[in-house]
Amino acid sequence: MHPLDNPIWKALTTSQAHLAEVAGVARKFPPEITALAGFPEPSCEAFDSLAQLLTKQRAVGLFFDDPPVLPAGWSILLQGQLAQMIHEDGSKPSEPPAPIAGLVELNAADVPEMVALTQLTKPGPFSTRTYELGNYIGIRRDGRLAAMAGERLRVPGFAEISAVCTHPDFLGRGFAAFLMKTLMQRIRRRGETPFLHVRADNARAIALYEHLGYRRRMLAHYVVAAKPQA
């Protein structure tokens, strides 16, 4: 089994196990970090375990190999296909592009702007403590957070680039590519391989990622599932 076949579960049982909330065979991140959860395989036991963890929230994000059939009482609030892409060619890019002015390291003080930018551009789930999962960087223009990107899931040997987004006022300036190349170089220097997830119908983003040297590894099914009402 490839380490990225079940990436949320793998992260929560290895590199990010210290963040895991655990019940039975299920694990999840604290909701302030991300709504993602996982288990070894979908089963009634797995969903029963997951329900025990959902005390602060009712809905949770899950990845599946195939379109899932949820146990009785569970409901699907949102679903779609994700392309998992991996950057296996360590020579491309070998260096980030020429420096772009305004590159900043993002931290707790930047959370309100980070949350606002992700709510506007919707690159995927992002909450008040998501930045704790890895390195987050951004570009500022005229005192505004114009673009950002960071790291989310971590499994041994791999780091996921996530939350790649640009404010509509600053599109077309190459900010997303620059931020991704910068993160990719940092990940490579740690001896890890970059990967990412993107909506399978997001042709513009996929074209950018392919240009940067990513290839599609597999399709996953993303589901926001709500536990049965008590």
What pLDDT digit, counting tens, does each position of 3-24 carry?
999 999 999 999 999 999 999 9
Give me the percent of the chain exceeding a pLDDT of 70. 95
Per-residue pLDDT at 24: 97
Are 165 and 199 in contact by the 8 Å Cβ rule? The answer is: no
The predicted model scores a pTM of 0.92
Mean model confidence pLDDT for the chain: 93
All domains of the chain in start order, with CATH = 7-81+221-226 (3.40.630.30), 85-218 (3.40.630.30)
Give the three-state DSSP class for 229: coil
Dump pLDDT digits (tens) for 164-223: 999 999 999 999 999 999 999 999 999 999 999 999 999 988 998 998 999 999 999 999
Residue of 109, 82, 126, 41 whose CA lies nearest to 216 = 82
What local confidence, expressed as pLDDT, does residue 2 receive?
Answer: 92
pLDDT for 125 beyond 90: no
Unique residue bearing structure tokens 């146990």:
71
> Residue 39 above 60 pLDDT?
yes
105 or 93: which carries more pLDDT confidence?
A: 105
Does residue 160 register a pLDDT over 70? yes
Which amino acid belongs to residue 161? I
- What is the distance between the alpha carbons of residues 129 and 117, in angstroms, rounded to a whole number? 15
CA distances 42 to 70, 113, 132, Å, are 9, 36, 28
For 60-77, write each residue's pLDDT tens digit. Answer: 999 999 999 999 999 999
Q: Which CA distances in Å does 163 have to 69, 78, 98, 181?
A: 28, 19, 22, 14
Give percent of the chain with pLDDT exceeding 90.
84
Predicted local distance difference test score (pLDDT) of residue 1: 84
pLDDT of residue 100: 81
- Which has the closest alpha carbon to 51: 67, 71, 79, 78? 71
Q: 98 pLDDT band (50/70/90 cuts)?
A: low
